[in-house]
Chains A and B, each alone.
Chain A
């Protein structure tokens, strides 16, 4: 009945949805931001610890959401660790393109490995009502990096 949904709910996503990585508070976070998707009630809080050079030393999150938004936040925290703010913003732009269109033609070779890791979420582009679930964590990341407290995927 649901076989064709394996593109959206790949094993990686179900796994990260059930057992999200970096799912904790960072007590000594330098940056925090809240992300809200009022339409579905998804809500997350993102914590970033910055290195002296401004790159992301650690990232973690807490909150509640569907499998897609939880998996996306989990994969994101894994992916952005060690990245500069500029790289994180670039990943964010690329990920949003991937989630909305299923491909990222302008991605190029740079950050290719990171994008590969996020690839399992590309299936979401076929589900317009679910794209925001996948992008919520990334909106929140942008907000945290820019020093804003709140992000909304509405």
Chain B
């Protein structure tokens, strides 16, 4: 199928509106993406026609809802080429998925004296849970690998921090939500495994922008979040190898995660149910399934090619703007650009852009240590692209930035 961005835009009802009398230019998909009609309708249909709790009732609707929920798990497994749908655990979002690993695997499998290795470019979601683990007095160390001036992961530094063999887990982003940098995942898997460590990827951004393949990658854990993948909020994914799930104690206790409960004793349900306590995000799973079907029909290679065009175009247009300082110039990058403009403060700039109908994010994008690393404590403006972003929108952003510079001059 050829990639027809105008046709794709028509699939997203929200893009049809004007903001403050100007066409909406939505450049904040990295924070959360807009939803195609197919997702919205699938969720409505689920609630209007097929809704009941799952795994509980022996009646038509409950069976239908259970089937839809498990079909969503199958769709996720297919999307990331997991070897087995049971490797897919549904969570609330990426943050919940990482916290699950930190609580369960971090407390149940990691041993005192071992370390977790993260990087300077992590989103707080892949930083704070590990700081909490470190600060619990379990003797678990937290190491932080450096980022180069170009905004790439410093692989020599990673190697040096792995060298003593004490790292039990490497937890790194697959694509930075600030720098756009795509990390060399296969290489990191090799480095981690050779050093005797397991590896988790925060794929919140990467899974949206390129095809990720669990069997080819060979990682141990991979997380992503539905709402950035054109799906609904309230659902995320933890992909975890079954052998790890077997060894991991449950995180939350409650209904649906047990196979037997007496007052004296409980037995855990087999994975992945063991990690899905309580009523799961049923409607959201149906929505995520529809989102996966939607992007799969376009095809991830086409999505990636479109993004590459946008990235090249944005690089050219943004480089032309005097006074614009781009954070990170990684070779391998996705459609996320964080920048500053002369002395204009990020929030002032975002307010101006908003008046032009452009939605961007201002601040530190849940990556304060990274902004400190690049000496921009007061934050940056971030423009991030989606399936529906056009080169024309990037031109309009560049034009608005040029005018904003004059405004504050």
Chain A residues with CB under 8 Å of chain B are 1-2, 4-5, 8-9, 14, 17-18, 39-42, 64-68, 127, 129-130, 133
Q: Place the interface of chain B in its size category.
A: 20 to 34
Minimum C-beta distance from A122 to chain B (A): 16
Q: Name the segment of B23-31, B109-117, B248-256, B348-356 touching the other chain.
A: B348-356
Minimum C-beta distance from A39 to chain B (A): 7
Evaluate contact between A41 and B378: CB separation under 8 angstroms.
yes
Residue in chain A with minimal CB distance to B379: A41
Secondary structure class of chain A's binding surface, majority of residues: mixed
A66's contact among B347, B356, B404, by CB below 8 Å, is which? B347
Sample of 19 further A-B pairs with CB below 8 A, known A1-B399, A5-B407, A41-B368: A1-B356, A1-B403, A2-B352, A2-B355, A2-B356, A2-B403, A4-B355, A5-B351, A9-B348, A40-B347, A40-B378, A40-B379, A41-B363, A41-B364, A41-B371, A41-B377, A65-B345, A65-B378, A67-B345
Q: Which residues of A lie under 8 Å from residue B404 when comparing CB positions?
A: 2
A9's contact among B377, B399, B400, B407, by CB below 8 Å, is which? B407
Residue in chain B with minimal CB distance to A37: B347
Evaluate contact between A127 and B351: CB separation under 8 angstroms.
yes
B400's contact among A1, A18, A65, A133, by CB below 8 Å, is which? A1
A14 and B355 in contact, given A40-B362, A41-B363, A41-B378 (Cβ under 8 angstroms) = no
Chain B residues with CB under 8 Å of chain A are 343-348, 351-352, 355-356, 362-364, 368, 371, 377-379, 399-400, 403-404, 407-408
Give A145 to B352 CA distance when docked, in angstroms. Answer: 35
Evaluate contact between A5 and B352: CB separation under 8 angstroms.
yes
Give A127 to B347 CA distance when docked, in angstroms. Answer: 11
Secondary structure class of chain B's binding surface, majority of residues: helix
Minimum C-beta distance from B63 to chain A (A): 46
Residue in chain B with minimal CB distance to A70: B345
Give A65 to B356 CA distance when docked, in angstroms. Answer: 23
A8's contact among B343, B351, B364, B408, by CB below 8 Å, is which? B351
Evaluate contact between A130 and B347: CB separation under 8 angstroms.
yes
Evaluate contact between A39 and B363: CB separation under 8 angstroms.
yes
A-B contact pairs, 26 of them (CB 8 A): A1-B356, A1-B400, A1-B403, A2-B355, A2-B404, A5-B352, A5-B355, A5-B407, A8-B351, A9-B407, A14-B408, A17-B348, A18-B343, A39-B363, A40-B346, A40-B347, A40-B362, A40-B363, A40-B379, A41-B363, A41-B368, A41-B371, A41-B378, A42-B378, A66-B378, A129-B351
Residue in chain A with minimal CB distance to B356: A1
